[in-house]
Amino acid sequence: MNKVTALWLRMTTALERAGEWIGLLPLRLLLAWEFWEAGAMKVGGENWFDSVHDDFPFPFDLLPVDLSWFIATWTELLGAIGLALGLFTRFWSAGLIILSIVAIFGVHWPAEWASLSELWQGYSISDRGFGNYKLPLLFLAMLIPLLFFGAGKASLDHFLSRAFLRNTP
C-alpha cells in the first residue's frame, strides 16, 4: 500500500468515526430550532387552521380544527426537544415527517397549477401565488436520515441504548 492510499484510509476512517458522533447532530439541531420556532408561534398565536383545514390530506381533514392545532403545536415543540436531545429521534422524526407532509398539502402546496413549470415555481420560500413548499420539503429531506439512521452517537438515544443493552442478557 502506498503512502497516499494509507493516508486516505486513515483520513476516511477518522472522518467516519467522527461522523458517527457529529454527522447527524447539525441536522437535529437545525430541525429542532425550526420546529421549536413554529410551535412557539402557535402557542402564542391565533388558530388559523380553519382557513386551510379542508386542504389537509385524509384522515387529518376529519379531525376538529382545534385538535389539529393542538397536535401540530405539541408535535413541533416536543419533537424539537426530542431532536435537540437525540431522545426518541426516530419517533419524533416520523411524527414530524407526517406533520411536514400535512403542511405541504394543507398549507404550502399551490392551489392551482397547470404545468410542472408552474408547480416548480412553488419551490420557493415566498408565496407568490404558486405555493411555497420548499422549506417543508427540505425538512422532509433532513428528517429521513434521522428516521433511518437515528440520532447518532451524540444523543440520549445512543447512551440509553448502550445502558439498556449493557444490562440485557
Single-letter amino acid, residue 43: V
pLDDT in tens, 113-124: 766 776 677 776
- Predicted local distance difference test score (pLDDT) of residue 29: 97
pLDDT in tens, 52-99: 877 787 888 888 888 989 999 999 999 999 999 999 999 999 999 999
| Residues 6+ positions from 95 with CB-CB distance below 8 Å | 75, 79
What SS3 class is residue 162?
helix
The secondary structure of residue 126, as a DSSP letter, is S
Task: Give Rg (Cα) of the chain.
Answer: 20
More confident residue, 169 or 39: 39
